[in-house]
Amino acid sequence: RSAVDIAQAALDRLQRLEPQLHSFLTITPDRALAQAQAVDDRLAAGEEIGLLAGIPIGIKDNLCTQGIPTTCGSQILAQFVPPYESTVTTKLAAAGSVMVGKTNLDEFAMGSSTENSGFQRSHNPWDLEAVPGGSSGGSAAAVAADQCVVALGSDTGGSIRQPAAFCGVVGMKPTYGLVSRYGLVAYASSLDQIGPFGRTVEDAAILLGAIAGHDPKDSTSLSVKIPDYTQFLLPDLKGIKVGVITETFGEGLDESVATAVQGAIEQLKALGAEIQEISCPRFRYGLPTYYIIAPSEASANLARYDGVKYGFRQPDAENILSMYTQTRSQGFGAEVKRRIMLGTYALSAGYYDAYYLKAQKVRTLIKQDFDTAFESVDVLVCPTAPTTAFKAGSKTEDPISMYLSDLMTIPVNLAGLPGLSLPCGFDDQRLPIGIQLVGNVLREDQVFRVAYAYE
Ligand code: GLN
């Protein structure tokens, strides 16, 4: 079959499932069919095509796509059509992949359930009453339901790994700086990373290989050689040391999650890994540290939405100050406003030392716990999230309980490390459970190796 046939079949399935899932904000048949046609043309001309050529992909709607709306899940960007393309989608287009649409997310990637989207709620394909996780819930649901083969998400505190766990797919946040953030709408710039979703570890490894690499347009982008990650996909774990993070098996962890993750650890042992208990005593300060640093950075990044430069503007305001105020009051949702208020408060004169500076110091201590751990092990494991997918609406009234779902993923962002979530079982409601594998800086190879051998 031709790439155009495959793209058409993918679009048909996507559209057929969309009324139940609402995983996409924009479906892009024109771009998909044009990209597929380009692949067929290359084949007809006898050219070599790569592994991603003709592969239908979903792109989180906080990645800029030229000429295609990029809303970031926010009403304030409802009409925004970027005049430029992100580096990752440029690379994927060059690799011949076929973008079928832009996936739903929590507004500005702030949330853990995709319920904060300014447009629609996405549904978990395993239970339509449950959330798909977030903020990349649309991408995770779309891959789980085969609306596309792979997808991109972004992860600031867990937004790839937690929805991957909730939807039973593989999701990875790479080392900070491995993937260019050019064209990613900024949430918290020192934490944001773009990463892959796939049904298998191999798919995620192939997709990461295609998007990683130095980019002069992102000043935090690392200058490192990108290996072919698939060469690390080996069947056994001989010589690999795996550390189990003790502190993650405490209070608040669902029994079913603990059991499934322990079972997975037993299997890693059977595959030849040496298992050790590892203590990360400062891990538990990750959540409060994150909720100072991320809103602080967000409050600065979101200052640009003033009704002048992008998207929505309140047209009836009497003067410019009231135009700013009304634009932001009407354009932003409740969670975004909460974060802006938290961030501006933490950064304000007189409080900076007590909150922001303190949080940065704790961030360093958390990183030190990881550094110590990686002196004795290659990869750390823990649950991805303390629970399985929860019912929609069950946490919307209580932001703290929502924030808790990122307890185990956030420290990994604070330390800038690669983390991957891999399906490892189901609870008694048949909802998927994820195990998180964390590697040292730029040791994606070891994370993929452990993930692949287990899978
Ligand atoms: N749920 C976390 C938050 O709301 C993480 C989001 C993310 O990784 N983008 O900030």
pLDDT per 10-residue tile (average), the chain, 455 residues: 96 98 98 98 96 98 98 97 98 98 98 98 98 98 98 98 98 98 98 98 98 98 98 96 95 94 98 97 96 98 93 92 96 97 94 94 98 98 98 94 94 98 98 98 98 98
Sort strands 193-198 and 150-155 into parallel, antiparallel or unpaired.
antiparallel
**Inter-axis angle of helices 3-21 and 137-144, to 10 degrees?**
120
Q: What is the count of structural domains for the chain?
A: 1
Asked whether 257 and 433 are in contact (CB, 8 A), the reply is yes
CA of 140 to the centre of ligand 1 (A): 15
CA of 150 to the centre of ligand 1 (A): 21
Q: Which residues of 76-112 are buried (b: 16+ CB within 10 A; e: fewer)?
A: bbbebebeebbbbbbbbbebbbbbbbbbbbbbbbbbb
Question: DSSP character for 185?
Answer: P
**Relative to the CA of 335, which ligand 1 atom is closest?**
4
**To the nearest 5 percent, what fractions of the chain are helix, strand and coil?**
45, 15, 40
**Relative to the CA of 155, which ligand 1 atom is closest?**
8
Note whether ipTM > 0.90 here: yes
**Residue in 61, 110, 407 to alter for ligand 1 test, most ligand atoms within 8 A of Cβ:** 110
CA of 410 to the centre of ligand 1 (A): 8
Sort strands 24-27 and 241-245 into parallel, antiparallel or unpaired.
unpaired
**Residue in 115, 135, 395 to alter for ligand 1 test, most ligand atoms within 8 A of Cβ:** 135
Q: Of 245, 250, 285, 281, which is closest to residue 265 (Cα–Cα)?
A: 245
CA of 77 to the centre of ligand 1 (A): 19
Residue ranges lining ligand 1, Cβ < 6 Å: 109-112, 135, 155-159, 187, 294, 406
**pLDDT at res. 220:** 98
CA of 156 to the centre of ligand 1 (A): 6
**DSSP symbols for 260-322:** HHHHHHHHHHHTTPEEEEE--TTGGGHHHHHHHHHHHHHHHHGGG-SSSSSS---TT-SSHHH
Q: How far apart are CA 237 and CA 247, in angstroms?
A: 24
Q: Which domain holds residue 331?
A: 1-455
Closest residue to atom 10 of ligand 1, CA basis = 110
CA of 157 to the centre of ligand 1 (A): 5
pTM over 0.90: yes
**Residue in 176, 287, 406 to alter for ligand 1 test, most ligand atoms within 8 A of Cβ:** 406
Closest residue to atom 5 of ligand 1, CA basis = 157
CATH number of the domain that residue 120 is part of = 3.90.1300.10
**Residue in 103, 156, 412 to alter for ligand 1 test, most ligand atoms within 8 A of Cβ:** 156
**Relative to the CA of 187, which ligand 1 atom is closest?**
9
CA of 340 to the centre of ligand 1 (A): 14
| SS3 category, 360 | helix
Residue numbers annotated as active site: 60, 135, 159
451's tokens: 């993930």
